[in-house]
Amino acid sequence: MKIIEIGYFYNYSNPIGDRWEIRQITEDRLASIQKLAAEGKNYKGLQIIKDYGEQDTTWLETWEKIGSRNRYIRAARDPFFDKRMLTECKTLDYLIQMLEHGNFCVGQGFYYKDLCFINCVGGGDEWRAIRRDKAFETISCGAIIRRYGREYFKRKVTTYLSAPDELGNMEFLESNISNQLFSMGEFVEEQVT
C-alpha cells in the first residue's frame, strides 16, 4: 500500500472551525477522505502533495508483538491495539509533528524507518520506543519537544537510528544524549530557562 501526503481544510465542530492540515496517509485512507470530501463532510480543498511510494511494513508484526507485551498498550480497547494502529512517517519532520501533537488513543503508534513510538496513555504523551526488535525506553516526546525544541528531538531520534546493538543499554543512550546536550551548549540552555 502506498503512502500519500495530502493537504486539506478540516472542519472542526468547535470554535477552531476550518484548519489547514497536512498528513501522510495510506491510499485506502485517502479513498475514504475523498469520499467524505465529495459528500461535503469535514474535508475541503483536498490536495495530493506527494506520493511517497510503498509503505514499509518490515517491522510491523514485530512491533505489534512488542506492543502487546506492554500492559498499558495491551489494555487498549477503543480501538484494540494491532499493527493497523502503526502509521508510517516518511519524513523525520512529520514524525516530530505527530509526536508533538499529542491527544492520541492508547496503542496509536508512529514509525520512521526502523524506529517506532507507541502511545501508552490515553490522550497522553508516554510513548514506548522500539528500534527494530528492541523496546528500549518510554519517553514523553511532546514534553521533550516543547521544552528543548524540535532540533534537540531530531538529534535524539538520529541517535536512536544510528545506535548499534547497544541501544538497549541505557548507558549508551545517556552518554550520547549527554554529549548532544553538551555540544548544543547555549541552545539547550536557552530552551530550558
Cα–Cα distance, 36 to 38 (Å, whole number): 5
The 10s digit of each residue's pLDDT in 8-49 is 999 988 777 899 999 999 999 999 999 999 999 999 999 999
Mean pLDDT of the chain: 88
- pLDDT at position 191: 41
- Residue 187, pLDDT > 90, answer no
The 10s digit of each residue's pLDDT in 40-55 is 999 999 999 999 999 9
Q: Give me the residue spans of the domains in the chain.
A: 2-54, 60-192
Q: Would strands 43-54 and 86-88 be described as parallel, antiparallel, or unpaired?
A: unpaired
Sheet holding 18-26, edge to edge: 18-26, 2-11, 43-54
The 10s digit of each residue's pLDDT in 134-172 is 999 999 999 999 999 999 999 999 999 998 876 655 555
Q: Are 173 and 180 in contact (CB under 8 A)?
A: no
Strand ranges for 91-191 from DSSP E:
109-112, 115-119, 127-131, 134-139
Handedness of CA 48, 103, 108, 41 (dihedral sign): negative
- pLDDT at position 184: 40
The 10s digit of each residue's pLDDT in 74-114 is 999 989 999 999 999 999 999 999 999 878 999 999 999 99
Report residue 175's pLDDT band, with 50, 70 and 90 as the boundaries: low
Q: Are 98 and 150 in contact (CB under 8 A)?
A: no
Strand ranges for the chain from DSSP E:
2-11, 18-26, 43-54, 86-88, 109-112, 115-119, 127-131, 134-139
- pLDDT at position 145: 97
Report residue 185's pLDDT band, with 50, 70 and 90 as the boundaries: very low
Alpha-carbon separation of residue 95 from 75, 90, 141, 145, 171 (angstroms): 24, 8, 10, 12, 25
- pLDDT at position 164: 82
Beta partners for residue 3, in sequence order: 26, 53
The torsion region of residue 50 among left (phi > 0), alpha (psi -120 to 50) and beta comes to beta
Question: DSSP characters for 4-33?
Answer: EEEEEEEE-SSTT-EEEEEEEEEHHHHHHH
